[in-house]
A and B are shown apart, each in its own frame.
Chain A
Amino acid sequence: MRSKIIRAILGLGAAFASFFYHPCSSSAETRVAIGVTETMETYNPYGDSVSLLYGIWCQVMGCLGTYDFDKGEYEGMLAERWEVKDPNNWVFHLRRNIRFHDGSRLTAADVVHSFNRVRNDPQSKQKQNIAPIASAAALDDYTVRFTTKEPTAPLLEYLFDRFIITSKAIYDKYGPDVADRKYPIGAGPYRFKELIPGQRFVIAKNPAYPGMKEKKQAPDEIVFRVMREPEQRVTALLNGEIQIAQFIPPHMRDRVERSPNTTVKAVDSVEIMFLAMSPKFKPWDNKQLRQAVSYAIDRDAIIANLLRGEATRLDGPVGPGQYGYNPNLQPKYEYNPEKARQLVKQAGYPNGVDVDYYTPVGRYTLDKQISEAIVPMLHAVGIRAKLHTPEWATLWANVQAGKVPFYYMGRGSVVDPSVALSQYFETGGSPRIGYSNPKLDELLALERRTFDPAKRKKVLSEAMSIITEDAPAHFLWRHQLLYGIARNIEYRPTPSGRIFGEDIKVLR
């Protein structure tokens, strides 16, 4: 009885307070708005496969672990530790003090349920993340075993940051649609607050998550706002409408830096940009011609003038910070038009050669402009490239079907290059380039079976050396991702593009 009265009084007080204090203007709460480029289109945590959303769902629902780019190693989140029992069996031990936002405990059953949902949900766009896994089993309440189809050394690359854990109980009770739409209850460091597809995603701090209470500077609320146009993000940042703006184009950097309240932070992305030359087609079946392209392009000039220094040149498939990077990888292609001209002649084209060159438009930073700059460089060495700019859907369909001989392209989320290399260069990996080399196939298969990191890096390095030498692709650079950041915020962007609330500090 007494407690009822007290509750009633408290309730009245709260109502009274909220009457005078608009909750948004409450000074105790900190809110950070972030202008992002990816659209968020569905309530289903498994219905998208873009890095930003993986990051948001990972914070709201929870995931097993994450890659720490500073330390260069994997770190547990819901999983406390993990071990490789034998090459085909991985065991993950969950933390015992994790609770869903409704108070129930997170257990191994939820992990197994999530695995099944990724695999069976008709809307799932994340099946590729569990592709190497044959089955998942709960060994006890806090232990999960994943059995892989074949030994997969880079398994954490698949699972961490991407495999989202959701509640089995809620799913069983309401079914997928209602559960996603009405009960987005997770176990992560942030809670779901609001999602308007195509417009915004709002999350709020969850103090009950271990360690979150101590992170006082982490924002209480984060609003991810979809702002596709760079102009729109920069204007909003300068007006103080948002505190972090994703992907500032190079030419707008000055404007953000000149403003007293904002600054720009850059980070190398994990997207590798390259020119693909498919040996399935003439004249690209000729290795010398492919190498000629590699010598013909002045990457440094393009980076310095067009990209204003905001890209890091690649010598080989990966660069610093990516797994398996070897600074001494051979061969290296320096800009040498004379040598390129000779290679074109040696390749059997004394009078030069005509080729068709395809580029996406508006998909990657300054893609069309870069390709327009590449064309005259190729002309200068006798490779008369004709530039085509098909619409993305058309280009992508043709690339995937292996119908495009020569194109500019990027491959994102290359933290560990294993998957990307296999996809583009292993025999049967995909028709995109149509390159085939038994020696390379052997090395790539070996790399996946090698669990000792040092040995694995060596094998990877050997494989990448073969690719660079054979040049079915010429690796150009990684763009820098520029983030506009308000000065009252401390944040260092990550190469993968995910944004975690706990990495943001609000300065008061």
Chain B
Amino acid sequence: MTRPAAMAGAARTTAPVVVRSGELSKGGRRHLLSVAELGAEGIEEILEVSDAFVEVGRRSIPKVPSLRGRTVVTLFAEQSTRTRLSFETAAKRLSADVLSFSVDTSSVKKGESLRDTVETVAAMGVDAFVVRHTSAGAPAAVARWVDASVVNAGDGWHEHPTQALLDCYTIRQVLAERSGRPSQGAGVGCFVGLRVAIVGDVRHSRVARSLVLALGALGAEVTLVAPGSLLPPSLEGWPVTKVSYDLDAVLPHVDVCYLLRLQSERGAGAFLPSVREYSAWYGLTSRRAALLGDGALVMHPGPMNRGVEIADDVAALPQSLVLRQVSNGVAVRMAVLFMLLGQVGSGGAAPDLAPTLAPTPGTVPGA
């Protein structure tokens, strides 16, 4: 993985070019399949690179030529709106060519195996697959089958690494703003001892698995709050400080309350008596939100079930970061795609973050 030297214009003038290998590329790895493979150092690196792309996103023309000539395929074998659009926006802002591939319209329905489908697409010349699949481990399988880089965009109950990364980015950004310092160069010290409650269907949540691994690696204290039937059968090896069944007791003592989406079928009687009962015990109602300490953050990966895990007026509170999570998602995914694919294209140099329409080098706005 390549690391950009510094911020946009500065990189083109004075800053030295620093290229070093990230955790992702150790042992020749060119994929992002799990947060587990990143470690604290790898996460920090991605967050730092994301800072550069957040800046790009603020420009009037938020597009850079870093991945010009590279092809990114989004292979989505499960319904998704925000993740797909977020990845495609990220790839396009990096000037990559984007192919969009969903199972509904593909030959998978004609009986072609996933392997054949993937190999066929790969044969067209693809640099990266962004894979969303209902089966845990599907991105790992794709990585076995093709030479291209693979980014896990959510696999079954397993992981959703970029969601966890954008959540960490958002927390870090907000805490930096509050301390009056810029996010750039803020490091990840803000996570040490940060008290985070992850509330809801942990058992079936890929977001929870990735987030627990990321926060644990960064030194946060994670409390899982869920009914027993929605906790995983084993928490061995999970960097979790505490498990609680009592949201009211937990809320006054957290810095971040992260709500997971409850899929409606879980409330049909098999895992929960009803959605209504879940909401009564584990929903973040206005009454419960009032139990949160001053400045505690409320987060949700979306899409929200308003009135189930989060009350409508709670979602609208200023400390609710839901939309900011979404907008940071694009920058974080740009960082991931750039770090996986940028190395060859940029000739081992710092990323080309010059605006695509910059008249001449050296006259970059802000340089």
Answer whether A and B are interacting partners.
Answer: no
B interface list, Cβ under 8 A from A: none
